[in-house]
Amino acid sequence: MLGIVVFGLFVSGVTVWPAVPGLKLAVRLMWGAVEPAGVLHAFVLRAIEGLESVQANYPFMLYAHDWLAFAHIMLALLFAGAIRDPVRNKWIVQCGLIMCALIPVLAGICIPVRGLPWCWFWIDFAFAPAAAWPLWIALKDIRDAETYVDKGG
């Protein structure tokens, strides 16, 4: 279960760098058109335009993306460490569950502040149960392993 979380964090980290080509591909696959077909489509097209403008005029601003990618990759390494010794590193899994619980809080605060459409909340929110489910199973397995060890197994 922790491997699923590691994989998800790693992939979400490395896909930050090719954001514009990735978003353009998503637009082609989801909508097949460049004319906005709804709020989310219009927002993604605007995001692409914004990223291209920043890249052309203020490329140093994308340094924040580099750190976002780095943070995801480092979190993946942290959870990979929990795979090596899950009982001793149970706190990492617990911390991950706390982070999942806080995703909707951050999204609920930052989405209106940054002017994102509210439908984006559900996209961000989807990451919480997607990570919490395998983390919860891992935590249950870790607790079972602790009980087994405590009983002299």
Alpha helices, H only, the chain: 2-14, 19-30, 39-57, 63-84, 90-114, 119-150
Query: Which pTM was predicted?
Result: 0.83
CA 16 to chain centre: 10
Question: What does the pLDDT look like over 13-67, one tens digit per residue?
Answer: 999 999 999 999 999 999 987 788 888 899 999 999 999 999 999 999 999 999 9
Number of domains in the chain: 1
Is-contact 98 7, C-beta < 8 A? no
Instruction: Supply the range of the domain harboring residue 92.
Output: 2-150
Three-class SS state of 85: coil
Q: What CA–CA distance (Å, rounded) separates 62 from 59?
A: 6
Question: What does the pLDDT look like over 116-132, one tens digit per residue?
Answer: 999 999 999 999 999 99
Query: At 125, which amino acid appears?
Result: F
